[in-house]
Structure 1
Amino acid sequence: MAAKQFASMFTAQLKMMFREKQVWFWNIFFPIILMVLFMIIFGGSGSSSSFKASIAVADPVPNASSGMLLSQLQQIPVFEMKEETPISREWVENKDIDALIVLPETEGVSEVGLIVNREREGSATTQAISGILDRFIQQANLAAVGATATYTISMDSITSASDDTNYQDFLMTGMIGLSLAQGGLFGMVELVDMRKRGLLKRLRMTPAKMGLFGLAGMIVRLMLGIIQVVILGLIGVFAFGANLHINFASLAIAFFVGALVFNAMGYLFSSFSKTMEAYMGVANISSMLMMFLSGVFFPLESLPEWLQPVPKMLPLTYFVDGLRDGLIYANGVLSSSFWLGMGIMAIWGVVCFLLGSQIYRSKSIAATR
């Protein structure tokens, strides 16, 4: 009897999902559009390109020192020099070049000027140019006094993935996490709609088990989540050259824990939202807050220091980290940080589910409309 009832509820919810166009947009098409836009803007077509900076070099009073510096600057491969004359500060102001380097007017002890656009003063390109120029001046000073460097830096990069990861991998996994989270956050809007139309009230008055109804809806959303992972993964790999190094154990655990947690959050939102507009408002606020503070698009280290504690309290942060572990880093379930993240997510899920259940239980059948 229970199996037959569950099958009927599952079929009904599956039909409801296919009929609801908003579900397909927010859970499939919106993440695809967002991921493609970010891939194009920040990741290109998937091929890695070296850093380049466009500069101009002004030599107001040519002399032996400025001539030596100019010849050495021309040998730095990341600098693309604008050779036009006369050289103008307006190039920087109009953002035609990234920086203008002004060589010293006198020989001997002097300074090299660096002029940048104030609007780009904190950009990564400006910081890179400043760092390269600082290193260049240090080497020039050593050469001027005939000294050689005693200490040098040898830099290498390692990753737990099989190959070096890139932004395409980072963004693809972040978008998969975001789309799965949104599926749970927005997926419970049907409960609000059913309550508004009196269907939930009628269902509670029948022999139907509400637990089976909720379980059927959850399995339908898990199926939708698997579709999201497959579609976004295929687009990331074949259209943008993203890399996958899958650890199926950590991927499965992160997927199911995350799906349950965000479904529980959606369940909580539905318990106190009297209208669909109110539900969508709460879900949108939650989604937008976590979208930009959980490392979906950019590493958390890029956030201001005073904002760093906030992502550590959000479930999407650990969900995205768990999916990245299962899709690209392949650290596996033996990682302590993986289980810490899953534990924090589980706390979120349990608290949200208990609160939502308590709110629903506190309402009489008549109040469910």
Structure 2
Amino acid sequence: MNNFKQFKKMFAAQLKLTLREKQAWFWGIFFPVILMVVFMVIFTGDSDDEFNSEVAIVNEQPNPTSEMVLNQIHQLSVLDVKSDEPVSREQAEEWVKEKEVDAAIILPESQEATSITLIVNKENEQGVTAQALSGILDKFIQQANLFAAGATPTYDMKFETVTSGNTELSYTDFLLTGMIALAIAQGGMFGMIDLVEMRRKGLIKRLRMTPANMEIFGLSDMSMRLLFSIVQIILLSVIGVFIFGANLYINFLSLIVVFLIGALAFNALGYFFSSFSKTTEAYMGMANIVNFLMMFLSGVFFPIETMPTWLQPLSNILPLTHFADVLRESMAYQTSIFTGTLWLGIGTLVLWGVVAFSIGSLLYKRKSIVATR
């Protein structure tokens, strides 16, 4: 019972310290929320809708060929023709320069002409819209060539997708689960800053001289951080689901195991950072560098498969990569706890946590031995 009373008092003290720590609030709550909202507003506004683009049509010398092409373009639902009628080339180029339209299409100037010109803004030449328009126009020309040659197309392509979840994973779902993983990781890596301050001020040494049980002190600190992470999951999930329309299909047993292992692993990383940091500035500098690298290399915002091939092996080593993967499996795909791929990711997190905690403990013990000499 005495141990339980110590736990309650230490837990309450740790909670008060955390609530007073502005950096913990920022990195643990506000930063993940702000980051997720920014990315969702930028990348998910029309991401699930059909592609649509506005173009200008130039048909300065109408002829049977240009009229046929114009009629076909009007039948393409993905293209909206500005002003509904052809305009001069000068006007079309001005609209493209001012980005009032995505592109201008110059129709053949005579019945014998064989070229259709696509004009895009130089700044957007490599953009998704310009590439999509080029592909659409290229396919259109291929079909026109077959029609002109009197050939009948033999083959066509059918596009299908499969997923291990109940529905296809949209970018909103992908980003939400990635941001939850990032928030929990940041909570662990940045959350041990109080240990640096306590050691610098000699508070840990004083605690060891009191009847306080240091194991219970560590347990209360860990319990408080797990509670903080639960708040992060709930808050980000509510924002993602009710504001941005994300879909979650949760296997709660898998989520509990993944959450506990992931939170403990990143707390161990924070513990490791604190073991050799003499000041809070040094600790925050190290944590920020690691956090920045993992934020953009761990598949939080974009799939790892879209990264350069030479960079992917590095991404596959980072703990946040595996944490984001297994968290998506448990929150978006309802993956069972008995699935082998899930345990592969969990095993990697356990390895990271054990190694980080072991090295951190060794460094703390060495410093304690030096301090007593």
Q: TM-score normalised to the size of structure 2?
A: 0.92
Q: How far off is 1:227 after superposition? A: 0.9
Q: Over residues 285-307 of structure 1, what are the superposed CA-to-partner deviations in whole Å (9 max), with x where a residue is unaligned? A: 11111111112122223323332
Question: Larger deviation: 356-365 or 99-108?
Answer: 99-108
Q: Which residue in the other structure is 1:266 paired with?
A: 270
Q: CA deviation at 1:118?
A: 2.6
Farther-moved stretch of structure 1 (260-269 vs 48-57): 48-57
> In 1, distance between residues paired with 2:149 and 2:165?
45
After TM superposition, list the pairs within 5 Å mapping 1:99-114 onto structure 2.
Answer: 99-108=103-112, 110-114=114-118
Work out whether 1:124 is the aligned partner of 2:117.
no
SS of residue in 1 equivalent to 2:57: strand
Match of 1:362, SS state, is helix
Matched, 1:230 2:231: no
Equivalent in 186, 193, 198 of residue 194 of structure 1: 198
Cα deviation digits, residues 88-108 of structure 1 (max 9, x gap): 323223322222222233434
Q: Does 180-189 or 278-287 show the bigger shift?
A: 278-287
Question: Which amino acid in structure 1 is aligned with residue 348 of structure 2?
Answer: I
Partner of 2:308: 304
Whether contact under 8 Å (2:249, 2:332) holds in the other structure is yes
User: Is the 2:265–2:349 contact (alpha carbons within 8 Å) kept by the matching residues of 1?
Assistant: yes
**Counterpart-to-counterpart distance in 1, 2:314 and 2:4:** 44
Residue in structure 2 matched with residue 10 of structure 1 by the alignment: 11
Q: Alignment partner of 1:240: what SS?
A: coil
- Deviation >6 Å, runs of 4+: none
**Mapped contact 1:222–1:259 kept (Cα < 8 A):** yes
SS in 2 for 1:363: helix
Give the Cα separation in 2 of the matches to 1:260 and 1:321.
17
Matched AA of 2:286: V
Partner of 1:50: 50
Question: Partners of 1:313 and 1:98 in 2: how far apart?
Answer: 41
Q: Output the CA distance in 2 between the equivalents of 1:127 and 1:291.
A: 28
Q: What is the CA-CA distance between 1:269 and the residue it aligns to? A: 0.4
Q: How far 1:127 sits from its partner (Å)? A: 1.7
3-state DSSP of counterpart to 1:101: strand
1:47 and 1:241 in contact (8 A); partners too = no
Pairs aligned (count): 367
Residue 94 (structure 1) aligns with: 98
Identity, in percent, stands at 55
Residue 309 of structure 1 and its aligned partner are, at CA, apart by 2.2
Shift of 1:207: 4.2
Output the CA distance in 1 between the equivalents of 2:16 and 2:107.
Answer: 71
Unaligned runs of 5+ in 1: none
Distance 1:104 1:244 in 2: 51
8 Å CA contact 1:201, 1:365 repeated in 2: no
Residues 72-83 of structure 1 correspond to what in structure 2 (within 5 A)?
Answer: 72-83=72-83
For residue 211 of structure 1, what is the aligned residue in structure 2?
215
2:87 corresponds to which letter in structure 1? Answer: T
How far the C-alpha of 1:109 sits from its partner, in A, is 6.4
Alignment equivalent of 1:146, drawn from 136, 147, 150: 150
In the superposition, relative to structure 1, how do residues 282 and 43 fare at CA in structure 2: closer, same or farther (>3 Å)?
A: same
CA distance in 1, matches of 2:268, 2:195: 13
In the aligned structure 1, how far is the partner of 2:133 from the partner of 2:14? 57
Under a length normalisation based on structure 1, what TM-score does the superposition of the two structures give? 0.93
Instruction: Measure how far apart 1:172 and its partner are.
Output: 1.2
Cα deviations by residue, 1:50-75 (Å, 9 ceiling, x for unpaired): 21112122234332222211211121
1:39 aligned residue: 40
Contact 1:27 1:179 in 2 (8 A): yes
Name the structure 1 match of 2:254: 250
The answer on 1:159 being equivalent to 2:170 is no
Cα deviation for residue 18 of structure 1 reads 2.3
